Structure formats: C-alpha cells, structure tokens
Amino acid sequence: MSNSDHIIVVKNLHKHFGTIKAVDGVSIDIERGKVVVVIGPSGSGKSTLLRCINHLEEPTSGEIWIDGEKLTHATKQINEIRAEIGMVFQLFNLFPHLTAMENVTLAQRVVRHRSQAEAEQIAIEKLQRVGIPEKADSYPANLSGGQQQRVAIARALAMNPKIMLFDEPTSALDPEMIKEVLDVMMDLAQEGMTMVCVSHEMGFVRSAADEVIFMDFGKIVEHTTPDGLFNNPQHDRTKLFLSQILEH
Amino acid sequence: MAEQFQTVDPIITADALSSKRRLRDLPWWLFALFLIAIYVFFAISANEDYNAAFVFIKTGLIITIKTTLISYSIAIIFGLLAGLGRISKNVVINNIARLYVELIRGIPILVLIFFIALVGVPVLVNWLNDFGFWLSDNGVGFFGKLFTAVTNQDISMITRAIIALAVTYGAYLAEIFRAGIQSIVKGQMEAARSLGMSYGQSMRYVILPQAIRNVLPALGNDFVAMVKDSSLVSVLAVRDITQVARLYAGSTFRFREAYIVLAVMYLTMTVMLSLLVQLLERRLKTHE
C-alpha cells in the first residue's frame, strides 16, 4: 500500500489516557531523508505522537506504517521495528551501570548479534562521530549533560537505524551544552537521516528542518515548511505560539 | 563572667568539642558486645563447664551454616522469580506471585516450617508417587519410575527444613526484589526497549544489574535474619546448634552454660555479618 518514499505513515492516530485525548486523530506522511520538527505547547501531544511511532505508547486506534510495514501488537515485530528506529530522550536515559562504550555496544550485541570486537569498532566510530571518543571508558555519572546526550545519540546510531526520533533532546541541557548536541543533529540531517524531532530550538528548525508540524490539543494545527512557519503562519494559534517563543 | 569566657582559647574549645563528639560517636554498643564475647570466650577456654558445653554445641555449627547457605541460595531464586512475577503484566503470573507472597507472609515462620516439612512435602511427594504408579500402570514405566524413585522416607528432615526456609524466605526476598526493580526509573526500560531489546533482555542487562546493586544491603540484612531463623529448624529435630544446645542442656542440666554459649555463637555470626553488610553499604554509596 505505502509509497516507498514515505518511510513513516501515520493514519488517523488516536492515543487516549483515560479521558484525556493526548493524540486526537493525527495523520502524517514522512518521506525518507526528511527532517520533520514537531512543535507545540506542552501537553499538545507531540511527545506522545513520537512515542507512538516506535510503540513506546500503544495507540488507542489508528495505523502506523514504518517503511511499508504496518505496526501490529506482535511483540516480536515491534522489537524488530524498534531496532530500526533510534530514539533520543530528553533525560538521556543512559544505562548508569555501564560505560559509554558498553552503553553503545549492548544492544548491538544482544539485538544485532554482533561480535564484541565488531560492536566495539562500530561504537568507537559512532563516538568519534559525536565528538567524544576519549570518553569511551567513562561512566555516565562522570559525563556532562551534553556529553551524555551525545553518547545516547551514538548508542542509537550504532544500531544503523533508518529513522531517528528526538524527544526534546536539548530541553534538559545547560545553555552552553545545547550547541554541541544540535551540531551533531545538524550533521545527521545533512547526511540524509530521516529525523522526527520534538524541539523548540528555532535555530535548528530554520537551518535543518524540511517540514514543521505545529500541534495543539492533540491535533495538527499546521503542517508547513520552516519558511512558511516563520514568514507566513496560517493560523492565529500558530502566530500566538510563535510570538510567545520568539519574543526573547 | 564575660572575661572568664574570653580567656578560653577558641582553638582548644573547638578541639575539646570535637573530641567530645568523637567520643560520643564511638560505637560503644559494639565494644560492649565485644566485651561480652571476650568474657564468654574466656569462660570457654578457662572454665570446664563452659568448655564442655561449647565442644558439644559446636558439632551443630556445620548444620546451621549449611542450612542457612543452601536455604538462602534457593530463596534468592524463588524471590527473584516471585519478584518478577509481582511486576508482571500477565494476570495469571502476577496473581500466582501475589498469592505466594501474601500466603507465606501471613503465616508465622514456625508454623510454616511445621506445615511445609510435615504436611506440604509428604503430600506433594505422595501425589508424585501416585502419578508415577499411574504412569507405570498405563504402560510408561520408564517415566513412572522417575516419579516413584523418591519416597517420603528418603527425604530427610534437614532437606525438609531447607525447603521450608527457602520457600518462606523466597516470599520475603520477592518483595525486596520487586521494590528494587520498581526503584529503577521508567526511562531505563524505555531506552532499552527503544533499542529493540525484548522485555527479558532489558530486564537482564539493564534493569536487574541496577536493581540488585540497590538491594544488596537489604539482601544482606535478610541473610543475617536467616542465620537466626535457621534456629527454628531445631523443632524438626535437625541437629543445628540450637537443637544440640537443647540436647546438651536437657541431659546435663547445665542450662546457663548451654544457652549462654549458644547465644554468643549466634551473636558472633550475626554481628560480624551485619558489620560486613554495613561496609558493603558504605562502599556502594561512595561508588555511586
């Protein structure tokens, strides 16, 4: 069914928590290699939407297709699809009992069944790519927030994912560390990685995003380009939101 | 008056204060315990009556240590399984685990030991034997023999005691494991699952290593408790130090010697183990 250009297809997605409709009928098609940034006020359902894409939240109803394959409730299929979708969390979620190197090699060995040597080689490669190969033997507790988040990105990249999801990756960082994480994300975007990011970094939106989705109350209010968002927002709600976050 | 205060050298005051505090913070209770132990050890080496009691009672030491170590090892396995069951989303597994934990924790350990050793084990073995005979009658003698090979006469009281303690402590350890697993933030499981790891893999490689590290002190404390509770197996006539001390006291009427020696033997083990647990706790904290 799905057009092979569309690596993520979401059809009429609903996710309810009790009576709260976190995601309320969202449909999007994301093309391979595109960078899509989801913005919106807190509680607008952007994180929930992201977490439904790799089934960390089970949708109440609706369909999700990843690279032509429909997500079901079968655990095995979901595990396989998750291995193809890297996710970066707001609070990094590194494994504190493992070194940076072990964080990056664990899933490679357990899920991809790579040998220790191969996994380590890939890990060094990815740690170099995010700019901290020298921290390979450090434990997360001895890394700064920015460094932890970069290890988390390396951990996701080591699985060779087709898609990367970023859930407010810079929200928990000190201002001077935001840039080092955004730089890594920009590089990834330039290399053609398909990315879906929940983020309010407008600099990133301007320079890296292909599309911007503005959500409010679980619905997509506006789906546009960065240019369209900044220069020609269609809805009053979008204008109000932009004026609030661009004021400073 | 004011002048008197001014003549006091502030450095000396601070020193005096801190040495006073140091004195106050010393583990006097430990010194006291130590003195009691020294006194009893001295009595054992110098006094014939105490010496005779000790020589007799220490023959039960191997049984006490063996019972404790084996029961505790099995209890760890039961506890881990039941702890995982308690957090399982599977309704059947969850309820079985809950039933086990609540049932065991609602009955006194002494009663459980009687029950498991004298009712639980025999009934279970009889069922298995009957099943074996039924298999043999129906022409599968080979499998039948597996179930009839062990009869109730073959299962010694010490084995029953170990089973009873293990089943009992498993329920208590289950709650420790459950709490340990639940103390790990949700993001850890999510991160592991987002990398494609299964629930089991995430548990094994990500959650349990952290959880077990967190509960090590609690597990240690329960081990100390198990050393003490192993004395309950004496009601099954298992010849641990408590049973041997009872026998000695009963036959010689030297109750004082027997029970003082017995108490100090337990104390020596439990205090040393408790100090080890404290050391472990401190080390875990500094390495956090």
For A114-170, the DSSP string reads: --HHHHHHHHHHHHHHTT-GGGTT--GGGS-HHHHHHHHHHHHHTT--SEEEEESTT
Q: Which residues contact A37 (CB under 8 A, 6 or more apart)?
A: A197, A198, A199, A204, A205, A209, A211, A212, A213
Spatial contact of A15 and A5, defined as CB atoms under 8 Å apart = no
What mean pLDDT is reported for chain B?
Answer: 89
A158 to chain B: closest CA residue: B195
Which of A80, A89, A94 is opposite residue B196, by nearest beta carbon? A80
Cross-strand partners of A88? A166
C-beta atoms of B196 and A155 within 8 A: no
Q: Does residue B164 surpass a pLDDT of 60?
A: yes
pLDDT band for position B57 (50/70/90)?
very high
- Please report the ipTM that was assigned to this predicted complex: 0.92
Chain A closest-CA separation from residue B281 CA (Å): 17
pLDDT digits (tens, 9 = 90+) for B112-153: 999 999 999 999 998 988 888 888 888 777 777 778 888 888
C-beta atoms of A111 and B201 within 8 A: yes
Which secondary structure element, helix H or strand E, spans residue B186, and what is its range?
A: helix B186-194
pLDDT digits (tens, 9 = 90+) for B2-50: 444 455 555 556 666 677 788 888 888 888 988 988 988 888 888 888 8
> What are the Cα distances from residue B182, in Å, to A118, A220, B75, B84?
34, 36, 20, 10
Q: Which segments of chain A does DSSP mark as H helices, in order?
A: 46-53, 75-83, 100-110, 116-129, 145-157, 175-190, 202-208, 226-231, 236-246
Q: Round to whole Å and give the CA distance between B219 and B266.
A: 19
For residue A236, the tally of other CB atoms under 10 A from its CB is 9
Q: Round to whole Å and give the CA distance between A169 and A50.
A: 13
pLDDT digits (tens, 9 = 90+) for B245-264: 999 999 999 999 999 999 99
Q: Which CATH number fits domain B62-238: 1.20.140.10, 3.40.50.12500, 1.10.3720.10, 1.20.210.10?
A: 1.10.3720.10
Q: Does B191 touch chain A if contact means CB atoms closer than 8 Å?
A: yes
Q: Round to whole Å and give the CA distance between B175 and A95.
A: 24
Among B50-59, B178-187, B226-235, where is mean pLDDT lowest? Answer: B50-59
Average pLDDT rounded to a whole number, residues B107-116: 95
B189 to chain A: closest CA residue: A93
What pLDDT score does A122 carry? Answer: 96
Amino acid identity of residue B43, one-letter, is A
What pLDDT score does B248 carry? Answer: 94
C-beta atoms of B192 and A95 within 8 A: yes
pLDDT digits (tens, 9 = 90+) for B202-238: 999 999 999 999 999 999 999 999 999 999 999 999 9
Spatial contact of A86 and A164, defined as CB atoms under 8 Å apart = yes
Write the DSSP symbol of residue B240.
S
Pairing label, strands A20-31, A194-198? unpaired
B288 to chain A: closest CA residue: A141
pTM listed for this prediction: 0.85
Judged by DSSP in three states, B239 sits in: coil
What pLDDT score does B12 carry? Answer: 58
What pLDDT score does B284 carry? Answer: 82
What pLDDT score does B144 carry? Answer: 78
Judged by DSSP in three states, B158 sits in: helix
Query: B145, B75, B160, B155: which is closest to B113 by C-alpha?
Result: B160
Chain B neighbors of A83, CB-CB under 8 A: 195-196
C-beta atoms of B192 and A141 within 8 A: no
Q: Does residue B271 surpass a pLDDT of 50?
A: yes
Pairing label, strands A35-39, A211-216? parallel
pLDDT digits (tens, 9 = 90+) for A165-177: 999 999 999 988 9
Mean pLDDT per segment of 10 residues, for chain A of length 248 residues? 74 94 94 95 92 93 92 87 95 96 97 96 95 95 95 96 95 91 94 94 92 94 93 90 80
pLDDT band for position B102 (50/70/90)?
very high
What pLDDT score does A2 carry? Answer: 43
Q: Round to whole Å and give the CA distance between B61 and B153.
A: 25
Chain A closest-CA separation from residue B68 CA (Å): 31
Residue tagged 């990056």 (tokens)? A104
The C-alpha angle with vertex B22 and arms to B16 and B28, in degrees rounded to 5, equals 135
Q: Round to whole Å and give the CA distance between B245 and B52.
A: 11
pLDDT digits (tens, 9 = 90+) for A123-148: 999 999 999 999 999 999 999 999 99
C-beta atoms of A111 and B197 within 8 A: yes
Q: Round to whole Å and give the CA distance between B237 and B231.
A: 11
Q: Which residues contact A12 (CB under 8 A, 6 or more apart)?
A: A25, A26, A27, A61, A62, A63
